[in-house]
Amino acid sequence: MPRGAMAMNSVSRAVARTGDFSLSELDMIRTLGDAHDVLNRLARDHGFAHHAVLRFSPEPETRPMRQLVVTSFSREVVQNYERAMLASGSRALSAARGSVRPFAWDRKYPKPRIAAPGLDDARAILARVGVTMGMSLPVAAQDCNRGLVMLGGERSTPTLAETALLSLFVNGVFDRIVAIQNEDRYTHDFRLTPRERQCLMWTGAGKSTAEIARILELSEHTVNQHIATCAQKLGAVNRTQAVAKAIRLRVID
C-alpha cells in the first residue's frame, strides 16, 4: 500500500475512534464544569480513564500541581502524585513547561521512550487508579497562555495520527478554559451594582430604555448610563453583547 494511503487510513481510524465527539462541542463550553465534561467524553472515546489540565503561571511554580485547573483525579491522588514527584527530584513537569512536543509513557515497558528518572513512585500511584499509560500534550491558547493536558488510562500508546487529533481537540478545550478564567477574573474585579444588574436584566428581557426607566422609576439618561457602564465593565462593545456575556458568566439569569 502506498505510504500516502497508509497515512490516510491511520488518520481515518483515529477520527473514527473519537466516537460522537466533534469540534462543535467546544462551542458548548461555557464553564469549567463544561470543560471537565467535554474532556471526560474525549478521554472515554479514546480509551483513557482520567484527564488533568494545567495552566502555567508566568513564573515557574515550585508546586506544579497548584497550576491544576481541571482534573478527574481525586484530591488525594493529586497530592500523593505531587509529593512523589517532589521527593524524586524529577523535573518532568518543569521540562514539559518548555516543551512543544507531546510525550507518552507506558508503565508496561521496562524502558520508557523518553528517560524520566525517579518517577516510579509517581507512576505507581497512577497505576492504582487505572493509569498504566499516559501522555502529556502541550497546549497554547490564542492569547499565548500555555499549559499542559494530561490523559491517562489502560490502553496502547496512541499513534502519531491519533496524537495529532488529540492535540487539536485539547488545544481547543484549553483555549476555552483560558477564556472562561479571564472572563471570570473580569467579573470578579468589576462587579455590577444591583441597579446596573437590574438594567441589564431588563434589557435582556427585551425591554426598551423607556420601559426600563418606567419600571425602575429612573430617567432614560440614567438607564443608558447604567447599561453603558455594564458594557464597559464586561468588556462588551454594545448592550446586546453585554447581555450575552452577562448570561454566559451567570451575572444575570
DSSP conformation letters of the chain: --HHHHHHHHHHHHHHTTTT--GGGGGG--SHHHHHHHHHHHHHHTT--EEEEEE--SS--SSGGGGEEEESS-HHHHHHHHHHHHHHT--HHHHHHT--S-EEEETTSSS-SS--TT-HHHHHHHHTTT-SEEEEEEEE-TTS-EEEEEEEESSPPPPHHHHHHHHHHHHHHHHHHHHHHHHHHHHHHSPPPHHHHHHHHHHHTT--HHHHHHHHT--HHHHHHHHHHHHHHHT-SSHHHHHHHHHHTTS--
Least confident of 110-114, 178-182, 199-203: 110-114
Give 149's strand partners: 53, 137
Report d(CA 166, CA 151) in Å as an integer. Answer: 10
Q: Give the mean pLDDT of 162-175.
A: 93
Judge whether residue 194 has pLDDT over 80: yes
User: Is domain 3-187 annotated with CATH 3.30.450.80?
Assistant: yes
Looking at this protein, which amino acid is placed at residue 51?
H
* pLDDT > 50? residue 131: yes
pTM over 0.85: no
Q: What percentage of the chain exceeds 70 in pLDDT?
A: 79
Stretch(es) of the chain classified as CATH 3.30.450.80: 3-187
Burial of 11 (0-12, 13-18, 19+ CB in 10 A): middle
> Does the domain formed by 190-248 have CATH 1.10.10.10?
yes
Cell numbers linked to 189: 474585579
- pLDDT tens figures, 53-96: 998 877 766 666 678 888 899 878 888 888 887 776 666 677 77
Which residues make up the CATH 1.10.10.10 domain(s) of the chain?
A: 190-248
In the predicted structure, residue 186 carries a pLDDT above the cut 60: no
